[in-house]
Amino acid sequence: MARILFSGGKVFDGSGADPVAADLVVEGDRIVEIGAGLHGPEQVVDCTGMTLLPGLIDCHVHVTVSDVTIKSRVENPFSYQFYQAAQNLARTLAVGITTVRDAAGADLGIKKAVEDGLIPGPRMQIAVSMVSQTGGHGDGWMPSGLCLPLGVPHPGRPSGIADGPAEIRKVAREILRAGADVIKVATTGGVLSPTDDPRHTQLTPAELEVLVTEAAMQGRYVMAHAQGTEGIKNAVRAGIRSIEHGIYLDDEAIELMLANGTWLVPTLVAPVSVIRAAQAGASVPESAVRKSKEVIEVHVDSVRRAVAAGVKIAMGTDSGVGPHGTNLDELPLMAGCGMSPGQVLAATTSSAAELLGYGDQFGRLATGYRADLAIVAGDAYELNHLAANVSQVWKNGQLVARDGQLV
């Protein structure tokens, strides 16, 4: 196997400690040596003036969603989303993100296409569909009586709409059968759904407990779209692993998360992206724009208090709501909630890997870990410029992108 020496740069190991000058050797798809003044391999990558980061991880994307307008859902042919997904995955990989968790939309075929090398992209965990009650955040029913979900059900993406423990159990098993690595559930309303409110509580504790049980029996876990306070608490009490968004956290919710070791994936950029799209002229529903404006300030305050309390944070963007390839816009927003640059990068590497169950494989630059690298010019702590400074992306020991373009 070829040995590659990355020489002359600094290394951010993923732990949150500041970058230090070091060389790194990759053999095959693994990191085999880290230290100062390494020599030997014939292939040398000059990293002078650059910082080596672990491959970045986004814990909340929707690769089959490319915009949130009703127009696109009505006018695009059904299969168009899969070709867009290939483009979205490529754009995500090119900015240094080598692993993603798709939070509903991507089916097993998309994941397998990446794994088999048919299309370039980050490795994937998939939720397939989102479990939601009738009239809940995942129900695409419109006041006109038409149903326009973000993800139309198909044989590889079963409907997630269910009510009551028995229906919830059946739907969970169907989603797991379809290849889900994680079950996603909506325990509150949302910004984009037209008939509910982010503060509304959805599904009962008994329904949520069924999901956690079914996931655990298959060695899986549950992630919750949870924005309102009571829905967050219900999710945490039920044993759900991560709270996505977490807009309306109160002190009790934060204490429960700390006591249960629950993760927070803030997706701070999501409501910002809705407003940006509307300002750019996209036909975003007025209700979504209004709710986005209402939640931004309280969202930041909630995340700031969670960070201060020591809640475990992992990076996620809700990309699809915003453009794929702009994922790193989330990082300065996290810093604005009181996280140091080192903490932000750790949340985007080692912490994200731990949340996804990959903590012993990805997210760190250490011997034995998978050789996923994002090499950035200059100071990696300049989070506002990180995306523009990504010079090279390596996945499994192979160069996959240079200067924002796939190779």
Q: Which of 139, 318, 329, 372 is catalytic?
A: 318
Strand 30-35: give its sheet, edge to edge: 30-35, 23-27, 3-7, 43-46
10 belongs to the catalytic site: no
Q: Which of 23, 107, 181, 184 is catalytic?
A: 184
Contact 55, 95 (CB under 8 A): no
If residue 243 lies in a helix (H) or strand (E), which one and from where to where? strand 242-245
The distance between the two most distant Cα atoms of the chain, rounded to a whole number of Å, is 68
Tokens 């790193």, residue located: 328
**Contacts with 291 (C-beta within 8 Å, 6 or more apart), sequence order:** 191, 197, 198, 271
Contact 220, 185 (CB under 8 A): no
Residue positions counted in the chain: 407
**3-class secondary structure per residue, 304-351:** HHHHHHCCEECCCCCECCECCCCHHHHHHHHHCCCCCHHHHHHHCCHH
- Report which residue type is found at 321: V
Report the candidate in 392, 288, 292, 320 with the shortest Cα–Cα distance to residue 106: 320
Contact 240, 185 (CB under 8 A): yes
25 half-sphere exposure, CB direction, 13 A CA radius: 15
318 belongs to the catalytic site: yes
Question: Tokens standing for 151?
Answer: 């993800």
Contact 208, 240 (CB under 8 A): yes
Q: How far apart (Å, rounded) are the C-alpha atoms in residues 164 and 81?
A: 31
Annotated active-site positions, please? 184, 318
